[in-house]
Amino acid sequence: MAGAMIVAFATLVPSVFAASPKPFHLDKTCASDVLCTVVSSDFKWIPADTDVTYVTDWDNWLTYPTIAVRNGSTTGVCDWNQPPGEVLAKCSFGDGTGRLTSFHLAVDVTVTGDPSSPDAMWHWDGFYDF
């Protein structure tokens, strides 16, 4: 009987503690191809005024954004080779450091305004989990 309870509990634990994806939204402006600043975010650990820095590989239509927050950071990859439409890129972030350890994020990138203008507002919409 005890063995059956242990097996039942062991199969229950992963489903109880499994992370469920939560909606994510962030708006940012970009002063250049390498520096953007968060204007608003619904994720408390990436507040307004957080910098997002980029390394680019335009030969492969990829960018590598890094988000550094107090007590942690995470780096992802954005694929800009998307079919024509409203979604300009798809970005994903894996394990980070500090408070962003085990942070996973997947977003679609869209823009309001002229993408070449520093006044353009870039939007990230998707889901995150830990």
Domain count, the chain: 1
- For residue range 35-78, list pLDDT tens digits in order: 999 999 999 999 999 999 999 999 999 999 999 999 999 999 99
The predicted model scores a pTM of 0.83
Q: Six-digit token pair at 28?
A: 């940012």
- Per-residue confidence (pLDDT) for residue 5, from 0 to 100: 38
- Per-residue confidence (pLDDT) for residue 18, from 0 to 100: 56
Asked whether residue 107 is assigned to any structural domain, the reply reads: yes
75 vs 6 pLDDT, higher one: 75
- Per-residue confidence (pLDDT) for residue 6, from 0 to 100: 39
The neighbour count for residue 105, using CB atoms within 10 Å, is 23
Asked whether residue 91 is assigned to any structural domain, the reply reads: yes
DSSP state of 92: E
Range of the domain at 46: 21-129
Letter string b/e over residues 37-73, b meaning 16 or more CB atoms within 10 A of that residue's CB: ebeebebebbeeebebeeeeeeeeebbebebbbeebb
